[in-house]
Amino acid sequence: MDLFPLYNSLRIAAISSVIVFFTGIFAAYKVAKMPRIVKGILDVILTLPMVLPPTVCGYFLLLLFGARRPVGQFLMQFGLKLVMNWPGGVAAAVVVAFPLMYRTARGAFESFDQNLAWAGQTLGLSNTWIFWKVRMRACRQGILAGTVLAFARALGEYGATSMLIGYTPSRTATVSTTVYQLWRTNDEQGAFFWVMVNLAISAAVLLTVNMLEKKNRSGKWHSK
Amino acid sequence: MALEVDIEKRLGAFHLRAAFSCGREFMGILGASGCGKSMTLKCIAGIEKPDRGRIVLDGRVLFDSEKRINLPPQQRRVGYLFQDYALFPGMTVRQNILCGLHREKDKQKREKRADEVLELLRLQEVAALQPEALSGGQAQRTALGRILVNEPDLLMLDEPFSALDTYLRLKLQTELKALLAGYDRGILMVTHDRDEVFRMCDRLGVMEQGQMLTVKGTKELFADPETRAAAVLTGCKNIAAAEKTGEREAFVSEWGIHLSTGKPVRDGLKAVGIRAHDFHPDTSENRFPVTILRETEEPFEWISEFTFDDQAAGSPPVWWRYSREFRTNEPPKQLGVAPADVLLLYE
């Protein structure tokens, strides 16, 4: 049995989760501080990939990273080929999973008690320290939820991924594209195996979320 | 003077104008909610930026709009005790206090100082607890400890007791006062609670709608509030428009009475105030026939609402408050007030 799709899916999901974690938090932190109108506009743009069909996201990604497009050519100079290559899967997963991280993190930041940051500042603590040790800690539940959701979404990504990197066994195949491909070629058993793999991963993710939530609840802090 | 403030800030229709100084003393700012007193503290701390003005602390310029100086809060060395204490979540009491010691690079000294403060503030037993497991008093002491180890040049308290119930409030007020008795820097506290400032502060400023009114010794201010706003904020229940009719005499048309006053009446008298406690049935001066309308019994006092016999129709009843031991079977027909207790209000 070739386990490449599992390996490929996990590395795409892991790398894109790390990227989405930082970019999502950064965007959420910046947008939460913007004036209302700018906030509204940016919010629509940044959330759009969540409501658009993934194939539409894939279409835009092809427009951007295609071999004859400027961005695609620019990246090629560094040997980074996204189309029909597994790093393209990361790009697809990032775009689709980003809004989940962004929105949950922004919700958490907006309910953050600003007095905590001010208290830190008047104590002479640096803004960077306050961000990581106080703000992120107070918002950890939202951040954590966002990260897990983003990871799960990246893992299950199909539409944009198949547009951008297609299905090449042992090169670009992911769990979800493999399920479709095997089903299409009448390999019902193979499809069933990968469906079960997918179910197991999803169940594991949800179980982790529940356990982390319980742990957090028994930890005593409630932000007011 | 340790702290000198002269700032202005506009926020929509609200206009903050605060000019005052605070020495190495316990100073209070008394004002209703939304009057700008917390905004003033935030401007001093560097959390809010005034539009114009100057803030100087111990000769250090913290803010000067003309010289374009605006130190970030981190460089101001101003302690700020928040109403909700703002303890960092996910950290123990001890870790919270260690946050205030970040300037001390020597780990051993840091630990030692934290232990000292935990002991001083009687927090050893809860040192390993998270903030939300603390009582109001413990949380307040932790926040205070975190500030004190940071050694600020000024300590500011923002409504420090308003999150507590009445009984606990009194207890913590005396406790905090004792704790801060040895503190040798300036302390600036804002509150809307007149009992609180009276118990705690040496000097007092009154703030109304963004304006700093009278600033003077707490007892002097309660004895002579000078303005209508200060009279209301210090708890004066009976205030009526008045005009000067003699050197020590004023006419209150609403109550239909002429009052002799303790102090000479200046020109521009706007109103007089009489505290509900200051009426007495036995006082011979400023004695007027009254009719008692309604009586309310309180745990240790009685409140009588009455009108003067010549009081204008539609004018609200006057309040008289007296200790229950002075209660007589027959309500008094006449009440008097000592001239010194007539508050002369000019604004």
Suggest the residue from A114, A123, A135 to mutate for an interface test with chain B (most B CBs closer than 10 A).
A123
Q: Which of B272, B267, B230, B237 is nearest to B253 (CA)?
A: B272
In the predicted structure, residue B18 carries a pLDDT above the cut 80: yes
Query: B214 with B246, same domain?
Result: no
In the predicted structure, residue B179 carries a pLDDT above the cut 70: yes
Query: B216 with B264, same domain?
Result: no
> Which residue matches tokens 């957090």?
A216
Query: B147 with B64, same domain?
Result: yes
Query: B287 with B197, same domain?
Result: no
In the predicted structure, residue B178 carries a pLDDT above the cut 80: yes
How many domains is chain A built from? 1
Query: B220 with B244, same domain?
Result: no
Confidence at A219, pLDDT banded by 50, 70, 90? very low
A81 touches B at CB < 8 Å: no
A77 touches B at CB < 8 Å: no
B199 within a domain of the structure (yes/no):
yes
CA A191 to chain centre: 25
Average pLDDT, integer, range A7-17 = 95
B31 within a domain of the structure (yes/no):
yes
Q: Are B203 and B216 in contact (CB under 8 A)?
A: yes
Q: Which of B180, B199, B224 is the last residue of a domain?
A: B224
Give the residues across from B15 on adjacent strands.
Answer: B10
Q: Do A118 and B131 touch (CB under 8 A)?
A: no
Tell me if ipTM is over 0.90.
no
B232 within a domain of the structure (yes/no):
no
Beta strands in chain A (DSSP E): none
Domain of A72 in residue numbering reads as: 4-218
Cα B162 from Cα B160, distance rounded (Å): 6
Name which of A126, A134, A219 is nearest B74 (Cβ-Cβ): A126
Confidence at B78, pLDDT banded by 50, 70, 90? very high
Q: Which of B191, B224, B257 is the last residue of a domain?
A: B224
How many domains is chain B built from? 2
In this prediction, residue B330 carries a pLDDT of 87
Q: Which of B174, B200, B224 is the last residue of a domain?
A: B224
| Number of cross-chain residue pairs from A and B with Cβ atoms under 8 Å apart | 80
Helix (H, G, I), strand (E, B) or coil at B50: coil
A86 within a domain of the structure (yes/no):
yes
> Which residue matches tokens 């701390």?
B45
Suggest the residue from A113, A122, A126, A134 to mutate for an interface test with chain B (most B CBs closer than 10 A).
A122
The amino acid at B127? A
B180 within a domain of the structure (yes/no):
yes
Q: Are B201 and B27 in contact (CB under 8 A)?
A: yes
Q: Please, how many CA atoms are within 13 Å of residue B283, restricted to the half-sphere of its CB?
A: 17
A146 touches B at CB < 8 Å: no
B233 within a domain of the structure (yes/no):
no
In this prediction, residue A10 carries a pLDDT of 94
Query: B81 with B167, same domain?
Result: yes
Q: Distance, in angstroms, between B19 CA and closest chain A CA?
A: 22
If 0-12 CB within 10 Å is exposed, 13-18 middle and 19+ buried, where does residue A203 land? Answer: exposed
Confidence at A216, pLDDT banded by 50, 70, 90? low
Q: Which of B221, B191, B225 is nearest to B32 (CA)?
A: B191
Look up the pTM and report it. 0.82
Query: B284 with B143, same domain?
Result: no
Residues in Cβ contact with B94 at an 8 Å cutoff, skipping those fewer than 6 apart: B114, B118, B127, B128
B269 within a domain of the structure (yes/no):
yes
Tens of pLDDT, residue by residue over B203-237, are 999 999 999 988 999 999 999 999 999 999 999 99
Rounded to 5°, the CA angle B177-B180-B182 comes to: 125
Tens of pLDDT, residue by residue over A85-107, are 999 999 999 999 999 999 999 98
Query: B83 with B149, same domain?
Result: yes
Confidence at B66, pLDDT banded by 50, 70, 90? very high
Q: Do B147 and A138 touch (CB under 8 A)?
A: no
B293 within a domain of the structure (yes/no):
yes
In this prediction, residue A223 carries a pLDDT of 37
Q: Do B132 and A122 touch (CB under 8 A)?
A: no
Residues in Cβ contact with A105 at an 8 Å cutoff, skipping those fewer than 6 apart: A24, A25, A28, A29, A139, A142, A143, A146
Domain of B249 in residue numbering reads as: 238-345
Q: Do B150 and A124 touch (CB under 8 A)?
A: yes
A223 within a domain of the structure (yes/no):
no
Helices B136-148 & B166-180 angle (0-180, nearest 10):
20
Tens of pLDDT, residue by residue over A203-215, are 888 888 787 666 6
**CATH of residue A161:** 1.10.3720.10
Average pLDDT, integer, range A74-81 = 88
B231 within a domain of the structure (yes/no):
no
The DSSP call for residue B127 is: T
Tens of pLDDT, residue by residue over B260-283, are 999 999 999 999 999 999 999 999
Cα B248 from Cα A141, distance rounded (Å): 68
Confidence at A141, pLDDT banded by 50, 70, 90? confident
* Joined tokens for residue B239: 């205030």
**CATH of residue B20:** 3.40.50.300
All residues of chain A having their beta carbon less than 8 Å from the beta carbon of residue B157 are: none
Confidence at A76, pLDDT banded by 50, 70, 90? confident
Cα B264 from Cα B225, distance rounded (Å): 15
Name which of A124, A138, A140 is nearest B103 (Cβ-Cβ): A124
Query: B261 with B124, same domain?
Result: no
Residues of chain B in Cβ contact (below 8 Å) with chain A: 42, 45-47, 72-80, 82-84, 86, 88-91, 99-100, 102-103, 130-133, 143, 146-147, 150, 152
Q: Mind spelling out the 3-state secondary structure of B41-75?
A: HHHHHCCCCCCEEEEEECCEEEEECCCCEECCHHH
